[in-house]
Amino acid sequence: MDDGIPVELGHLPVGGFSGWLEEMRAALRGEADADVACGTCSACCQSSQFVHIGPDETDALAHIPAELTFPAPQMPRGHVLMGYDRAGRCPMLTDTGCSVYEHRPRTCRTYDCRVFAATGVELDDPGKAAIAARVGQWRFDVASPEDDRARQALESAVRYIRAHADEMPEGSAPQTPTRLAVMAVEIVDRFLPAPETP
C-alpha cells in the first residue's frame, strides 16, 4: 500500500505506545531527557523554531551567547527565546550537529517529534516540512490493551483540548500544533481508565 512515505526513508519503529507515553510524560516532568533515535536527523533544529530557555537553565544560558536571545513574550522576566537564521536554522547548529549539545536547553532535551505521530496532530506549516517527513516515518506498536488504552486516551485528550480551547483562560489555549500535542500528553491522565482494584 502506498502510504506516502518515500521508500528510501522507510519506517522507524518506536516500540509500544504506552511505554513511549510514560517516557514522554517523564521527560515533560523533567525526570529524563527525551530518548529519540534522531540518527543524523536535525530537522527540528532547522525548522524555524524558537527555543525557550528558562531562567533556571544556567548551564544553557552560560553556553549560548546572550545576543542570540531575547525576552520571551508574555512570560515572566528571565525567560528568553533563541531565534533562528534566514534559513530557519538554530544559530547553535553546525555542519556536525549541535555545538552546545551537552549544554542544550530543556526545550531541546525534551523535544520529541514522535508526539505528532502519537497524537495525530498535523504540522501544517510549510517551514516544518522536514519535521513532518520524519514524523511520517514513526511507527508505534499498539499490541497490548495498555497500548490501545493509551492511544485512545491521547486521542481523547486532543479532542477535548480542541473542543474547549475557547473556554481556557487567556493565554493558555494552545497556539501551535506543538503546544496542542504536548498539552494532550500533559493532561492524558484524565482520560486514562482508573486502575482496576483487586
* Pairing state between β 69-71 and 80-82: antiparallel
Determine, following the binding rule CB under 6 A, whether residue 36 of this chain makes contact with ligand SF4.
no
User: 61 — phi, psi (to 5°)?
Assistant: -65, -30
Positions in 113-172 near ligand SF4 (CB under 6 A): none
Q: Per-residue x/- mask for ligand SF4, residues 43 to 82, rule CB under 6 A?
A: --x-----x-------------------------------
Q: Binding segment for ligand SF4 among 19-27, 31-39, 96-104, 160-168 (CB under 6 A)?
A: 96-104
Torsion from C-alpha of 47, 50, 51, 55, nearest 10 degrees: 180
68: nearest Cα among 80, 77, 78, 76 = 80
In whole angstroms, give the CA distance from residue 108 to residue 38.
Answer: 12
* Contact status: 98 vs ligand SF4 (CB under 6 A): yes
- Segment lying near ligand SF4 (by CB under 6 A), choices 1-9, 16-24, 97-105, 140-148: 97-105
Q: Interface with ligand SF4 includes 100 (CB under 6 A)? A: yes
Question: Taking contact as CB under 6 A, which single stretch among the options 72-80, 93-101, 148-156, 181-189 is the one that binds ligand SF4?
Answer: 93-101
Contacts of residue 185, Cβ cutoff 8 Å, sequence gap at least 6: 21, 24, 25, 28, 115, 118, 119, 154, 157
Nearest to 89 by CA among 50, 52, 45, 131: 45
Options 88-96, 120-128, 146-154, 162-170: segment touching ligand SF4 (CB under 6 A): 88-96
Binding mask 102-121 for ligand SF4 (x = CB under 6 A): --x---x-------------
90 binds ligand SF4 (CB under 6 A): yes
The three grid cell numbers given for residue 51, joined into one nine-digit string: 527555543
Q: How many CB atoms lie within 10 A of CB 130?
A: 18
Query: What residue ranges bind ligand SF4 (CB under 6 A)?
Result: 45, 51, 90, 92-93, 98, 100, 104, 108
